Amino acid sequence: MRFYRRIGVLGVLCALGVCSPAAAATFTVDRYFGDAVDAAPGNGACAAIGGGCTLRAAVQESNALAGADAIVLRSGSVSTLTIAPGLPGLAESGDLDLTGPVSIATSGSGLAVVNWIGPTTDRVFDVHGAIAVSLSHLLIAGGQVNGAGGGGVRVANGASLTALGVVVDTNRVTGSQAGGGIQVTHDSRLTLRDSAVKGNDAGGDGGGIDVADAAAVTVERSQISDNSADSGAAVAMSSTATLSISDTTIVADSNDISAATGAGILQTAGVLSIDRATFTSANGGGRVGLRGTEATVRGSILSGSGGGPMCAGAVTSAGFNVGDGSCDSALTKPGDQPFADPKLGFLVDNGGPTLTMALGASSAARDTGGACGPARDQRGGVRPQGGACDAGAFEVGSLADVQAVSLTASVPALVAGGEFSVQATVRNNGPDAATTPTVTLPLPAGAAFVSGGSCVGSPAAVTCASGTIAAGNSVVVPIALRASAPGALALTATVANAAQGDIEAANDQASTSLTVTPAAVILPFVSPPGPPPPITLRLLGLRASPTTFRVPRVSKRRRAGTTIRFSLTLPARVTITVTRRSRGRWRSVATQARERRAGRHAVRFTDIVRRRLIVPGRYRIVVRVRGATGTLPSSALRVRVLPARR
For the stretch 299-313, pLDDT in tens is 999 988 666 678 889
Residue 442 parent element (H or E): strand 437-442
Residue 59 parent element (H or E): helix 55-64
Give me the CATH code for the 539-642 domain, please.
2.60.40.2550
pLDDT band at 4 (very low <50, low <70, confident <90, very high): very low
d(CA 480, CA 466): 15
Q: What is the pLDDT of residue 25?
A: 95
Selected residue with higher pLDDT from 177 and 306? 177
Output the CA–CA distances (angstroms, integers) from residue 266 to 236, 262, 556, in the order listed: 5, 8, 149
pLDDT band at 16 (very low <50, low <70, confident <90, very high): very low
Total residues belonging to the chain: 646
Gyration radius of the chain over CA positions? 49
d(CA 610, CA 140): 123
Give yes or no for residue 13 having a pLDDT over 90: no
Q: What is the pLDDT of residue 512?
A: 93
Instruction: Please tell me whether the peptide bond between 374 and the residue prior to it is cis, using omega within 30 degrees of 0.
Output: yes
d(CA 158, CA 546): 118
Lowest mean pLDDT among 85-99, 231-245, 258-272: 258-272
Smallest CA-to-CA distance from 182 within 119, 136, 263, 236 is with 236
As a whole number of Å, the end-to-end CA separation of the chain is: 138
Give yes or no for residue 149 having a pLDDT over 90: yes
Q: What is the pLDDT of residue 558?
A: 61
Average pLDDT taken over every residue of the chain: 88
pLDDT over 90 percentage in the chain: 55
Q: What is the pLDDT of residue 526?
A: 65
Output the CA–CA distances (angstroms, integers) from residue 242 to 85, 126, 567, in the order listed: 32, 21, 112
Selected residue with higher pLDDT from 607 and 447? 447
d(CA 30, CA 8): 19
d(CA 111, CA 355): 16
Indicate the CATH number of 400-517 among 3.30.300.10, 2.60.40.1510, 1.10.10.10, 3.40.50.720.
Answer: 2.60.40.1510
What b/e sequence results for 28-51 when a residue is b if at least 16 CB atoms lie within 10 Å of its CB, and e otherwise?
A: ebbbbeebbbbeebeeeebbbeee
| E-state strands within 349-395 | 356-359, 375-376, 382-383
Residue 564 parent element (H or E): strand 561-568
The angle formed by the CA atoms of residues 170, 394 and 338, to the nearest 5 degrees, is: 100
CATH 2.60.40.2550 spans which residues of the chain? 539-642
CATH 2.60.40.1510 spans which residues of the chain? 400-517
Answer whether 291's CB lies under 8 Å from 297's CB.
no
Give yes or no for residue 213 having a pLDDT over 60: yes
Q: What is the pLDDT of residue 373?
A: 67
